[in-house]
Chain A
Amino acid sequence: MTMQNIKPKYLILLATVMFIAIGGIALAAGDPDMDPPLAPLPDHPPIPTDNPSGTNVYPSKMDAKQELGYLLFFDPKISGDGGIACSDCHDPKMGWGFSDPISRGYPGTVHWRNSQTALNSGYLNKIFWEGGTTSLEAQAPAAAEGAVAGNGSRDMMEARLRFTPEYVKRFKEVYGTEWPNIEDAYGAMAAFERWLSQPNTPFDKFMKGDKNAVSEKAKKGKSLFEGKANCIECHNGPIFTDEKFYDIGVADPPEFEENGIQQVTFRFQHYAKGSAEEIYRTHKSDPGIYFKQKRLEDRGKFRTAPLRYLKYTAPYMHNGTLFTLEEVIDFYDKADGVDRWGNKTKIIKPLNLTKEEKESLKEFLLTLSGEEIRLPVPKVPDYAPMADWQPKK
Chain B
Amino acid sequence: MKKVFVSLLLLFTVHCSLFTVVHAADYPDIGPLPERKAPNPKAVELGKALFFDARLSGDAGVSCATCHNSENGFTTKMPLSEAYPGSKHWRNAPTMLNIVYKKGGFGWDGRLMDLDDMLRDMITDSMNMNMDMQLMQERLKQDPKIVALTKEAYGDKNMGTSQKGEMTHYVARNALIQFLETLTSKNVPFDKGALSGKAKEGMALFKGKAGCIQCHNSPYFSDGKPHNTGVPENPEVFKDPQRHFTYVAYMMFMGVDNRMSWRRDVGYYTISKDRGDVGKFITPTLRELKYTGPYMHNGIFTTLDEVIEFYNQGGGEDRPGLKDVALKPLNLTSAEKDAIKEFLLSLSGDEIRFDMPKGVKVEYQPLPNWREVKN
A residues in contact (CB < 8 Å) with B? 76-77, 79-83, 106-109, 147-148, 151-153, 155-156, 158-160, 162-163, 179, 256-265, 267-268, 270-272, 277, 280-284, 383-386, 388-393
Contacts and interface: CB of A to CB of B under 8 A. Distances in A.
Contact of B260 (A155, A160, A162): A162
Contact of A385 (B134, B241, B279): B241
Contact of A263 (B61, B246, B279, B367): B367
A272 B366 contact: no
B317 interface: yes
B141 A267 contact: yes
Given A260-B364, A385-B244, A389-B244, A155 B252 contact: yes
Contacts of A383: 241-242, 245
A260 B367 contact: yes
- Counting chain A CB atoms within 10 Å of each CB, the highest count among B138, B244, B363, B371 belongs to B138
B363 A260 contact: yes
Contact of A159 (B58, B130, B134, B246): B246
B60 A153 contact: no
B272 to A, nearest CB: 18
19 contacts: A80-B126, A81-B86, A83-B59, A106-B58, A108-B58, A108-B60, A151-B130, A153-B253, A159-B246, A159-B252, A257-B370, A258-B366, A263-B366, A264-B141, A267-B375, A389-B263, A391-B233, A393-B264, A393-B317
A81 B263 contact: no
A270 B264 CA distance: 44
B249 A158 contact: yes
A271 B142 CA distance: 14
A385 B132 contact: no
A155 B51 CA distance: 27
Interface string B286-323: 00000000000000000000000000000001110000
A156 B246 contact: yes
Interface residues of B, number: 58
Interface in B327-375: 362-367, 370-371, 374-375
B135 interface: yes
A260 B249 contact: no
Interface of B: 55, 57-61, 84-87, 126-127, 130-132, 134-135, 137-139, 141-142, 162, 232-235, 237-242, 244-246, 248-250, 252-253, 260, 263-264, 279, 317-319, 362-367, 370-371, 374-375
A271 B252 CA distance: 29
A261 B59 CA distance: 13
Contacts of A76: 86
A282 B241 CA distance: 48
Given A107-B59, A390-B235, A393-B233, A259 B366 contact: yes
Contact of B132 (A147, A261, A389): A147
Contacts of A148: 135
Given A108-B59, A159-B248, 18 more contacts: A81-B58, A82-B87, A107-B58, A148-B135, A151-B132, A153-B253, A159-B252, A160-B245, A163-B242, A163-B244, A163-B245, A257-B371, A263-B366, A271-B134, A272-B134, A386-B244, A389-B263, A390-B238
A261 B363 CA distance: 8
B180 to A, nearest CB: 25
A151 to B, nearest CB: 5
Contacts, number: 172
A271 B59 contact: no
Contacts of A385: 238-241, 244
Contacts of B264: 391-393
Contacts of B362: 108
B61 A107 contact: yes
Contacts of A79: 86
A264 B374 contact: no
A268 B250 CA distance: 27
Contacts of A259: 364, 366
Given A268-B135, A390-B235, A277 B162 contact: yes
Nearest to B233: A391
A150 B307 CA distance: 43
**Complex A-B, nearest 9 residue pairs according to Cβ-Cβ distance, in ascending order:** A82-B86, A260-B364, A108-B60, A391-B233, A147-B132, A153-B126, A159-B249, A159-B245, A155-B252
A82 B244 contact: no
Contact of A281 (B55, B130, B248, B374): B374
B249 A156 contact: yes
Given A107-B59, A390-B235, A264 B366 contact: no
Nearest to A389: B238
